[in-house]
Chain A
Amino acid sequence: MLRYVFGRLLGAIPTLFLIVTISFFLIRIAPGGPFDLERPLEAKVMENLNKIYHLNEPLWNQYLLYLQSVARLDFGPSFYFRDFSINELFAESLPISIQLGLSALCLALIVGGILGVAAALRQNRPADYSIMAAATLGVTIPNFVVAPILTLILGVWLGWLPVGGWNGGAFVNRVLPVVTLALPQIAVVARLTRGSMIEALRSNHVRTARAYGLTSYMIVVVHALRGAILPVVSYLGPAAAALLTGSVVIETIFGIPGIGRYFVQGALNRDYTLVMGTVVVVACFVILFNLVVDLLYALLDPRVRYD
């Protein structure tokens, strides 16, 4: 098992290398540079800046320099937030995004899972239809619509929750962003769970369990749910990676200092190191969570073995 994990992590290195290479050259080809401000800088200042950030060197050299620093886990200085290094920016914002994402993920799993199972057990009955209609609504309403509506109702009119801000991660400040972030995930998890649960409940081994008079708990949870959760797990891999690396929309609307905003800011301002940093972080999360999913699979399904 350990060997397998180690092997997978080693195998991720060439993938990461390719991703770094592709995105490095992609952003460099894009028109515009980090110091193309509305008011052009003086030639002398520009030259100095280019020198400091190695922009005057050939692209190839810059690429090698960047690879070297990434290999040392140093993502370099930010072009836009000039007093900070990328590492400092991430150290501050990533934990916040992870906390938010993780809470949303747990909420989505629990609520979505319960709703999905409930719908499957009452297939084609009113409860099923209402859960599925709500789930479809959850998938279709964009979260930048949900967020202001929830803010207006719970924050402004009722005054129960703060309208925005992080406030050091106080519970009340978290409720709205976590719920908004979790809503579409709840919907997807509920739909997936329902589908695979229905299939599992029809399967032959569940029929065996029924024929042998096992309790409903044993039939539903022990025999049906364990197999039915597998597709949900494989969905959650990429979803978790996306959630934990921050949501631009949620962080902008609720004014949360997470990592999500850096995606957009970095790309728009041609902050090369910031963009590269976010790309690498997201890719790492994707790779990591794919591994976690595979390990979870092995844990849930004895037929999957990694020796």
Chain B
Amino acid sequence: MTSETKKTVLSIKDLKVDFETATGTINAVQGVDIHVQAGETVAIVGESGSGKSQTMMAAMGLLASNGRTRGEVIYEGRNILGLPVGKLNKIRGAKITMIFQEPMTSLDPLYTIGRQLAEPMVVHGGLSWKAAKAKALDLLKLVNIPEPERKINAYPYEMSGGQRQRVMIAMSLANDPDVLIADEPTTALDVTTQAQILDLLADLQKRLGMAVIFITHDLGIVRRIADRVYVMKTGEVVENGDTGQIFNRPAHPYTRMLLDAEPTGHKLPVPDSAPVLLEAQKVAVEFELDSGFLKPRHVLRAVDNISFSLRKGQTLGIVGESGSGKSTLGRAVLNLLPAGGRVVFHGQQITGKSRAEMRALRKDMQLIFQDPFGSLSPRMTVGQIISEGLMVHEPSLSGRQRDERACQALEEVSLDPAMRNRYPHEFSGGQRQRIAIARTMVLKPELVVLDEPTSALDRTIQKQVVELLRDLQKAHGLTYLFISHDLAVVRAISDTVMVMQRGKVVEAGTADAIFEAPKCDYTKELIGAAMLTQQQMMETA
């Protein structure tokens, strides 16, 4: 970073991007200047809607058909913005390459990995298919794909998300690019996989020396890999500079807000004298896979004999990667899924109760979902959504009383009650999650199972939601079962933590014990992958 002699390979000058829509023009990017020098890693940071992805898409000529661009994108002394496709194609995929956020869909499902890897080499490098295949094998080895000889003939659906992202990286390196643009390449991946992909990228950059533009919302990643940072907000770069400078002396208030957005705080454990609200004994859930008429029964144990107890006012964080069975456990505890074992709520066994028998209990045990876009019925108003539970559990209330209760609940989650006649699609993600919280709070429950309630939200919104949840817990003496893959959030809100892997609990204990002194290797790996950046940040803060 200090050597000023390095040559600038790509520079974006006063780039503007507009989208023509039926409701008017949207100025997605409003005059952005970004440059990257040979061999350096530049991060573009911003929350969703900041225009960070659109900037790079525009530079590469990949905008949707209603996108318009102005400004300059200089590569090797030539403006490549708005170049005809034929000329642009001499550069894209050869000298400037991209990796995308969605590893599951970015590869064509109908062709083998080898074929897709070979395509850019045949098109740009003029290689024969045979030579390209041979080189593709080398590339797969380079990105540490296990069994490359076999995987080269595999289809994308036969690989995991992490492996697909490795294939994308291999593809991006095929023609020795000058610049690699990575658009949120690790966002869709589990933490441990994330760390591996980041290590791989850093290692490859060191060995091959290309410049990397890394688009992300995750400051932890920026801190870990970037030399320089651009902070974007609503289509503009609000601040840029060396990583150290941005993290240590942020100048712009928005940057400070982003840096401050890591959920912080600490929950004290409840005293042992607190009454036990929920007790789970050897809860087990099995799913039948591919059940056909004549196929052999194939069973997946999603939750494998898990026991725990929850005291009133306690928050139990359940941590695990996708597929660990943590969400299934949450639903099994609420008897929303048929499960083995025994769950006792308020001294009453609820396993095996029918839906009708459960109905009266539902008021006291609630569930909040991850996806604030999917969990609200799209054709009902917010008021109707919130008061639906009241219709079931307090049928004696008049329509007016229900409306009042809905207003109270909205106020409690800091939303304007005047908005109760609006529909969910008119709200942002964070607001929707507040509506979902209001829907459960209106019933005044005792136990709330929160299934990744913050995972679909931007960091700054996450922090607000976590604080809201904490306030509500304090005010109403709620008990939480908090399910998340996000260790930072879990740490901020839980007093007890359970780590799950493949349906089993691998480690459990107080939050402090788990985070400060993890015993199990898997826990260590998880924390290592996620917390490395965290601790660095805390040191510098």
If A204-B105, A205-B108, A301-B110 touch, whether A211 touches B98 (CB-CB below 8 Å) is yes
Say yes or no: A227 contacts B109, CB within 8 Å. yes
Cβ-defined partner of B108 (8 Å) among A202, A216, A223: A223
Say yes or no: A212 contacts B109, CB within 8 Å. no
Q: Considering the complex, give the chain A residue whose CB is closest to the CB of B107.
A: A205
Cβ-defined partner of A214 (8 Å) among B98, B102, B120: B120
If A218-B119, A301-B109 touch, whether A208 touches B100 (CB-CB below 8 Å) is yes
- Looking at the assembled complex, report how far the CB atom of B127 sits from the nearest CB atom of chain A, in whole angstroms: 14
Q: Considering the complex, give the chain A residue whose CB is closest to the CB of B66.
A: A124
Q: Which residues of A contact B64 (CB under 8 A)?
A: 202
Say yes or no: is A296 at the interface (Cβ < 8 Å to chain B). Answer: no
Q: Considering the complex, give the chain B residue whose CB is closest to the CB of A303.
A: B157
If A216-B85, A302-B110, A302-B155 touch, whether A211 touches B62 (CB-CB below 8 Å) is yes
Say yes or no: A303 contacts B94, CB within 8 Å. no
Say yes or no: A214 contacts B100, CB within 8 Å. no
Say yes or no: is A209 at the interface (Cβ < 8 Å to chain B). Answer: yes
Say yes or no: B123 contacts A207, CB within 8 Å. no
- The B54-93 residues at the A interface (CB cut-off 8 A) are 60-62, 64-65, 85, 88-93
Say yes or no: is A215 at the interface (Cβ < 8 Å to chain B). Answer: yes
Say yes or no: B88 contacts A213, CB within 8 Å. yes
- Looking at the assembled complex, report how far the CB atom of B110 sits from the nearest CB atom of chain A, in whole angstroms: 5
Say yes or no: is A203 at the interface (Cβ < 8 Å to chain B). Answer: yes
- Looking at the assembled complex, report how far the CB atom of B56 sits from the nearest CB atom of chain A, in whole angstroms: 10
- Looking at the assembled complex, report how far the CB atom of A12 sits from the nearest CB atom of chain B, in whole angstroms: 15
- Looking at the assembled complex, report how far the CB atom of B119 sits from the nearest CB atom of chain A, in whole angstroms: 6
Say yes or no: B110 contacts A213, CB within 8 Å. no
Say yes or no: A227 contacts B110, CB within 8 Å. yes
Q: Considering the complex, give the chain B residue whose CB is closest to the CB of A218.
A: B119
If A205-B108, A213-B93 touch, whether A303 touches B155 (CB-CB below 8 Å) is yes
Say yes or no: is B97 at the interface (Cβ < 8 Å to chain A). Answer: yes
Q: Which residues of B contact A209 (CB under 8 A)?
A: 108, 119
Say yes or no: B119 contacts A212, CB within 8 Å. yes
- Looking at the assembled complex, report how far the CB atom of B461 sits from the nearest CB atom of chain A, in whole angstroms: 26
State how many residues of chain A have any CB contact under 8 Å with chain B. Answer: 25
Counting contact residues on chain B (CB < 8 A from A), the size range is 20 to 34
A227 to B97, CA, bound (A): 24
Say yes or no: A212 contacts B120, CB within 8 Å. yes
A218 to B123, CA, bound (A): 10
Q: Which residues of A contact B107 (CB under 8 A)?
A: 205, 208
- Looking at the assembled complex, report how far the CB atom of B227 sits from the nearest CB atom of chain A, in whole angstroms: 24
Say yes or no: is A8 at the interface (Cβ < 8 Å to chain B). Answer: no
Q: Which residues of B contact A226 (CB under 8 A)?
A: 110
Q: Considering the complex, give the chain A residue whose CB is closest to the CB of B121.
A: A212
Say yes or no: A211 contacts B60, CB within 8 Å. yes
Q: Considering the complex, give the chain B residue whose CB is closest to the CB of A124.
A: B65
Q: Which residues of A contact B407 (CB under 8 A)?
A: none
Q: Considering the complex, give the chain B residue whose CB is closest to the CB of A216.
A: B85
Q: Considering the complex, give the chain A residue whose CB is closest to the CB of B61.
A: A210
Q: Which residues of B contact A55 (CB under 8 A)?
A: none
If A223-B108, A301-B109 touch, whether A213 touches B120 (CB-CB below 8 Å) is yes
Say yes or no: is A300 at the interface (Cβ < 8 Å to chain B). Answer: yes
If A123-B65, A205-B108, A303-B109 touch, whether A213 touches B102 (CB-CB below 8 Å) is no
Say yes or no: A204 contacts B102, CB within 8 Å. yes
Say yes or no: A212 contacts B92, CB within 8 Å. yes
If A213-B123, A213-B124 touch, whether A204 touches B100 (CB-CB below 8 Å) is yes
- Looking at the assembled complex, report how far the CB atom of A58 sits from the nearest CB atom of chain B, in whole angstroms: 36
If A204-B102, A204-B105, A208-B100 touch, whether A214 touches B123 (CB-CB below 8 Å) is yes
Say yes or no: B106 contacts A208, CB within 8 Å. yes
Say yes or no: is B171 at the interface (Cβ < 8 Å to chain A). Answer: yes
A301 to B108, CA, bound (A): 11
A117 to B85, CA, bound (A): 19
Cβ-defined partner of A300 (8 Å) among B85, B93, B110, B119: B110
- Looking at the assembled complex, report how far the CB atom of B374 sits from the nearest CB atom of chain A, in whole angstroms: 20
A206 to B100, CA, bound (A): 12
Q: Indicate the member of A204, A206, A227 with the most B CB atoms within 10 Å.
A: A204
Say yes or no: A210 contacts B62, CB within 8 Å. yes
Say yes or no: B119 contacts A211, CB within 8 Å. no
Q: Which residues of B contact A204 (CB under 8 A)?
A: 100, 102, 105-106
- Per-residue CB contact flags for chain A residues 282-301 toward chain B (1 = under 8 Å, else 0) read 00000000000000000011
Q: Considering the complex, give the chain B residue whose CB is closest to the CB of A204.
A: B105
Cβ-defined partner of A207 (8 Å) among B85, B100, B124, B155: B100
Q: Which residues of A contact B157 (CB under 8 A)?
A: 302-303
A202 to B62, CA, bound (A): 11
- The B22-65 residues at the A interface (CB cut-off 8 A) are 60-62, 64-65
A223 to B109, CA, bound (A): 9
- The B161-182 residues at the A interface (CB cut-off 8 A) are 168, 171
Q: Which residues of A contact B85 (CB under 8 A)?
A: 216
A239 to B472, CA, bound (A): 60
- Looking at the assembled complex, report how far the CB atom of B174 sits from the nearest CB atom of chain A, in whole angstroms: 9
Say yes or no: A211 contacts B105, CB within 8 Å. no
- Looking at the assembled complex, report how far the CB atom of A104 sits from the nearest CB atom of chain B, in whole angstroms: 28
Say yes or no: B119 contacts A214, CB within 8 Å. yes
Q: Which residues of A contact B168 (CB under 8 A)?
A: 208
If A210-B62, A211-B98 touch, whether A205 touches B109 (CB-CB below 8 Å) is yes
A214 to B86, CA, bound (A): 10
- The A177-230 residues at the B interface (CB cut-off 8 A) are 202-216, 218, 222-223, 226-227
- Looking at the assembled complex, report how far the CB atom of A73 sits from the nearest CB atom of chain B, in whole angstroms: 29
Q: Which residues of B contact A302 (CB under 8 A)?
A: 109-110, 112, 155, 157
A211 to B107, CA, bound (A): 12
Q: Which residues of B contact A223 (CB under 8 A)?
A: 108, 111
Q: Which residues of A contact B88 (CB under 8 A)?
A: 213
Q: Considering the complex, give the chain B residue whose CB is closest to the CB of A302.
A: B155
Q: Which residues of B contact A206 (CB under 8 A)?
A: 108
Say yes or no: A212 contacts B105, CB within 8 Å. no
Q: Which residues of B contact A214 (CB under 8 A)?
A: 89, 93, 119-120, 123
Q: Which residues of B contact A227 (CB under 8 A)?
A: 108-110
Q: Indicate the member of A123, A211, A222, A226 with the most B CB atoms within 10 Å.
A: A211
A8 to B196, CA, bound (A): 46
Extra contacts besides A212-B97, A213-B89, A300-B110 (18): CB < 8 Å: A204-B105, A205-B107, A206-B108, A207-B62, A207-B106, A208-B98, A210-B92, A213-B88, A213-B90, A213-B91, A213-B92, A213-B93, A214-B93, A218-B123, A223-B111, A227-B108, A302-B110, A303-B155
Can you spell out 19 A-B residue pairs with CB atoms less than 8 angstroms apart? A204-B106, A205-B105, A208-B106, A208-B107, A208-B108, A210-B92, A211-B98, A212-B93, A212-B119, A213-B88, A213-B90, A213-B91, A213-B94, A214-B89, A222-B111, A227-B108, A302-B155, A303-B155, A303-B157
Listed in ascending order, the chain B residues whose CB lies under 8 Å from chain A are 60-62, 64-65, 85, 88-94, 97-98, 100, 102, 105-112, 119-120, 123-124, 155, 157, 168, 171
